[in-house]
Amino acid sequence: DTEVTQTPKHLVMGMTNKKSLKCEQHMGHRAMYWYKQKAKKPPELMFVYSYEKLSINESVPSRFSPECPNSSLLNLHLHALQPEDSALYLCASSQLWEHGNTIYFGEGSWLTVV
């Protein structure tokens, strides 16, 4: 079973709102990721967690705040976003990245900022 579950599937939020995207995996993976994807573009890495610790932040603005409560869950807290932040947000997981393991993606959360 290679399933990464993301909620919600769609989210519309105002620029002053605070919302969260959630991700869950039960494959025993110890690395989890957030990617952002704009239309007709490839996914772009935002954050990597290894063993529930943030290991990579690709210079993402602070209005995006990741959290990894445990080895199965990953959240992305959103605050004071801009319309240009509207995109598909993808969660992914893998065994530890150092070994070049396959990354499995969720279905994504469509975010629209109005």
Confirm or reject binding of residue 97 to other proteins (CB under 8 A): yes
Nearer to other proteins by Cβ, of 84 and 99: the residue is 99
Number of residues binding to other proteins, judged by CB under 8 A: 27
Smallest gap, in angstroms, from Cβ of residue 102 to other proteins? Answer: 5
Please say whether the beta carbons of 63 and 12 come within 8 A: no
Q: Please tell me the distance from the alpha carbon of residue 47 to that of residue 87, in angstroms, as a whole number.
A: 16
What letter does residue 53 receive in the DSSP assignment? E
Chain positions 4 to 43 lying near other proteins, rule: CB under 8 A, are: 4, 6, 31, 33, 41-43
Give the one residue of 2, 14, 15, 38 binding other proteins; rule: CB under 8 A. 2
CA atoms lying within 13 Å on the CB side of residue 20: 11
